[in-house]
Amino acid sequence: GAGVSQSPRYKVAKRGQDVALRCDPISGHVSLFWYQQALGQGPEFLTYFQNEAQLDKSGLPSDRFFAERPEGSVSTLKIQRTQQEDSAVYLCASSYGGRSSGNTIYFGEGSWLTVV
């Protein structure tokens, strides 16, 4: 597609519910990032994939967060047993080269998660 596509755009989950957020990166992009943006804050890094390999998951806040990119294109971020502090915008981003290449990183519009 023309840009990074994320779905759903808006999700309301009850506390304790599992959610799955999908990201379609720009076709051919090797690198894929997930960021979390809390209200009034800048985005914070969660995890990074190069093709299908998850090379960095240092930003995942707990073992309730899990991400995958099994075929090196579409990625899913899964949050188990959601809690209110998980309420945030989850941004997906992709770039053509590896993350050290200096290539421009393109962001999707985000998935807005509200946990009630």
For residue 23, what are its two tokens? 């990201």
107: nearest Cα among 39, 41, 43: 43
Least Cβ distance, residue 93 to another protein (angstroms): 8
What is the gyration radius of the CA atoms in the chain, in angstroms?
Answer: 13
Residue 90 within binding range of another protein, rule CB under 8 A: no
State yes or no: cis peptide before 8, omega within 30 of 0: yes
Per CB under 8 A, the list member of 67, 91, 113, 115 interacting with another protein is 91
- State which residue, 44 or 52, has the beta carbon closest to another protein: 44
Residues that bind another protein (CB under 8 A): 4, 31, 33, 35, 40-45, 48, 56, 58-59, 91, 93, 98-102, 104-110
